[in-house]
Amino acid sequence: MNLVESLRAHRLLAIVRGKDPAAALRTVTTLAEEGIAAAEVSLTTADALTVIRRARAALGPDAPVGAGTVRTTEDAGRAVDAGASYLVTPALVEGLAGVGVPVLMGALTPSEIERALALGAAAIKLFPASLGGPEYLSALRAPFPEVPFVPVGGVDAAAARDHLDRGATAVGVGSPLIGDAADGGDLGRLRARAAQFRAAIAQETV
């Protein structure tokens, strides 16, 4: 897959992390039904590889389903074998250039961003985005105008819109969107939150 094109098309990357594998799978498929198709299943999720494998089977070979919290090459290999079409790391991880799928690599500082790009990152997961906020993204885009940034961490619907207005390729959203759905929580509330985020993403830049 072309990760950057997919991120630009979807604008919102759902981060699914939970203690209940069946509920995590329902969360991924429910989000897809609600128009939020791009999802990463964190490897800290209970039985995460099975969730990825079943999500891939349910949503089809072209669905943008990836693996998150990838910290080692072993993590990467298992995730790709399970069907992940891209990987997301929380920090700089070496040895992922040859895994066969694109990597959204975690970085925060300019030096880390340069290192991530040198390691073959297709895009930068700006994490934690809450530390500097949208203003920090604006500052980074001056020296890195061509780098695809995906702010992650503490991004609610309002912050998502602000980051996109300041040039983010997409935003990654965990608990403000997922809530307790991946632990068995109410799917109706998940659908309501999904609608709220979709509305925020769809707003025109002011």
Catalytic residues: 40, 125
193 phi-psi bin (left φ>0, alpha ψ -120 to 50, beta other) = alpha
Q: How many residues does the chain have?
A: 206
Which one-letter amino acid corresponds to residue 61? P
Nearest to 13 by CA among 92, 119, 123: 123
Positive or negative, the CA dihedral 145, 101, 53, 81 is negative
69 phi-psi bin (left φ>0, alpha ψ -120 to 50, beta other) = left
How far, in Å, CA of 160 to CA of 186, rounded? 23
How far, in Å, CA of 173 to CA of 56, rounded? 20
How far, in Å, CA of 11 to CA of 150, rounded? 9
How far, in Å, CA of 191 to CA of 72, rounded? 33
How far, in Å, CA of 204 to CA of 206, rounded? 6
Do residues 194 and 182 lie in contact, with contact meaning Cβ atoms separated by under 8 Å?
Answer: no
